[in-house]
Chain A
Amino acid sequence: MMRAGLSALLSHWWRHPLQLAMLLLGLSLATALWSGVQAINAEARAAYAQAASALGQDRLARLVPVDGDVLDQSYYVALRRLGWAVSPAIDGTLPETRLRILGIEPLTLAQNATLPGAPGLMSGDLVAFLAGRLAFAHPDTLASTELADQLPDLRLVPAEDLPPMTLLADIGTAQRLLKMDGRVTALLLDPDHPLPGPVPANLTLVQPTSDDGLARLTDSFHLNLTAFGFLAFAVGVFIVHSAIGLAFEQRRPVFATLRALGLPASVLTLLLLAELLILSLVAGTIGVALGYGVAAALLPDVAATLGGLYGAPVPGSLSLRPEWWGGGLAIAVIGTLAASSQSLWRLWHLPILAPARPRAWALASARSARWQLAAGGALLSMALVTLGLGSGLWAGFAVLAGLLIGAALILPAILATLTGLASGLSKGVLVQWFWADTRQQLPGLSLALMALLLALATNVGVGTMVASFRSTFTGWLDQRLASELYLTTRNESEAAEITTWLRPKVDAILPIVTVEAVLMGQPGDIYGVADHVTYRDNWPLLDAVPGVWDDIASGQAVLINEQLARRADIGIGDSLPLPGGALPIAGIYSDYGNPSPQAIVGLSQFAARFPDVAPLRFGLRLPEDAAPALADALQSRFALPEGALIDQAGIKAFSLQIFNRTFTVTTALNLLTLGVAGLAMFASLITLAGIRLPQLAPVWAMGLTQRRLAALDFLRTLLLAVLTAVAALPLGLALAWVLLAVVNVEAFGWRLPLQIFPADWLRLFGAALAAAGFAALLPSLQLARRAPTDLLRVFANER
Chain B
Amino acid sequence: MLLTVNDLVKSYESTDGRIPVLAGVSLSLAAGQSVALTGESGSGKSTLLHLAAGLDPDFGGQILLAGQSLADLDDAGRAALRRGTVGLVFQQFNLIPSLDVAANLAFHARLTGRHDAAWTAQLAEDLGLNHLLSRYPEQLSGGQQQRVAIGRTLAARPRLVLADEPTGNLDEATGDAVLDLMLGLVAQTGTALLLVTHSTRLAARLDRTAHLRAGKIVS
Contacts and interface: CB of A to CB of B under 8 A. Distances in A.
B118 interface: no
Given A703-B84, A705-B76, A797 B47 contact: no
Interface in A431-467: 432-433, 436-437, 439-440
Contacts of A700: 79
Nearest to B106: A429
Contact of A798 (B41, B75, B90): B41
Nearest to B50: A792
Nearest to B96: A698
B42 interface: yes
A705 B98 contact: no
A631 interface: no
B39 to A, nearest CB: 10
A358 interface: yes
Contacts of A706: 75
B111 A795 contact: no
Contact of B46 (A432, A705, A708, A795): A795
Contacts of A796: 46-47, 50, 91-92, 164
B75 A707 contact: yes
A788 B111 contact: no
A121 to B, nearest CB: 79
Contacts of B79: 700, 703-705, 708
Given A429-B106, A703-B80, A437 B98 contact: yes
Contacts of B53: 701
Contacts of A795: 46, 50, 55, 90-92, 94, 164
A433 B216 CA distance: 40
B124 interface: no
Interface residues of B, number: 43
A794 B94 contact: yes
Interface string A400-444: 000000000000000000000000000001101100110110000
Q: Is the interface of A mostly helix, strand, loop or mixed?
A: helix
B97 interface: yes
Given A433-B98, A703-B111, A799 B92 contact: no
A797 B91 contact: yes
Interface string B10-47: 00100000000100000000000000000001101111
Nearest to A698: B94
Given A359-B138, A701-B55, A704-B79, A439 B42 contact: no
Given A429-B106, A432-B103, A705-B75, A788 B55 contact: yes
A697 B82 contact: no
A799 B21 contact: yes
A789 interface: yes
Nearest to A705: B79
Contacts of B96: 433, 436-437, 695, 698-699
B42 A799 contact: yes
A697 B94 contact: yes
B192 interface: no
Nearest to A440: B98
Most buried by A among B55, B56, B106: B55
A157 interface: no
B201 to A, nearest CB: 21
Given A433-B96, A436-B99, A698-B96, A799 B83 contact: no
Contacts of B50: 792, 795-796
Nearest to A708: B79
A482 interface: no
Contacts of B106: 429
Given A429-B111, A430-B111, A794-B92, A703 B56 contact: no
A799 B57 contact: no
A382 interface: no
B114 to A, nearest CB: 12
A700 B80 CA distance: 11
Contacts of B99: 432-433, 436
Interface string A777-795: 0000000000011011011
A362 interface: yes
Given A792-B50, A799-B44, A429 B98 contact: no
Interface string B40-68: 01101111001001011110000000000
Contacts of B58: 788-789
A208 interface: no
A369 to B, nearest CB: 16
A797 B92 contact: yes
A47 B94 CA distance: 65
A792 B56 contact: yes
A698 B156 CA distance: 14
Most buried by B among A436, A701, A792: A701
B46 A798 contact: yes
A533 interface: no
Contacts of A199: none
A261 interface: no
Interface string A333-365: 000000000000000000000000011001000
A694 B94 contact: yes
Contact of B82 (A433, A701, A789): A701
B91 A789 contact: no
Given A359-B139, A429-B111, A799 B46 contact: yes
Most buried by A among B45, B53, B99, B112: B99
A704 B84 CA distance: 11
A759 interface: no
Contacts of A695: 96-98
Contacts of A697: 94
Contacts of B80: 703
B157 interface: no
B186 to A, nearest CB: 20
A702 interface: yes
B129 interface: no
A792 B94 CA distance: 11
A646 to B, nearest CB: 67
Contacts of A439: 98
Contacts of B46: 795-796, 798-799
A362 B137 CA distance: 13
B133 to A, nearest CB: 15
B10 to A, nearest CB: 9
A537 to B, nearest CB: 67
Contacts of A791: 55
B107 A702 contact: yes
Nearest to B12: A799
Nearest to B85: A703
Contacts of B160: none
Contacts of B44: 799
B108 interface: yes
A358 B140 CA distance: 12
A702 B90 CA distance: 11
B103 A788 contact: no
A701 B75 contact: no
A305 B152 CA distance: 67
Nearest to A694: B94
B95 A698 contact: yes
Given A700-B79, A799-B12, 12 more contacts: A358-B138, A695-B98, A701-B55, A788-B56, A788-B57, A792-B50, A792-B56, A795-B55, A795-B90, A796-B46, A797-B92, A799-B21
22 contacts: A358-B138, A359-B139, A429-B115, A432-B103, A433-B96, A437-B96, A695-B98, A698-B96, A701-B94, A702-B88, A703-B80, A703-B84, A704-B111, A788-B57, A788-B58, A789-B56, A789-B58, A795-B90, A795-B91, A796-B47, A796-B92, A799-B47
What 8 A-B pairs are tightest by C-beta distance, nearest first?
A: A703-B83, A429-B110, A440-B98, A436-B98, A698-B94, A703-B82, A796-B46, A705-B79
Interface of B: 12, 21, 41-42, 44-47, 50, 53, 55-58, 75-76, 79-84, 88, 90-92, 94-99, 103, 106-108, 110-112, 115, 138-139, 164
Interface of A: 358-359, 362, 429-430, 432-433, 436-437, 439-440, 694-695, 697-708, 788-789, 791-792, 794-799
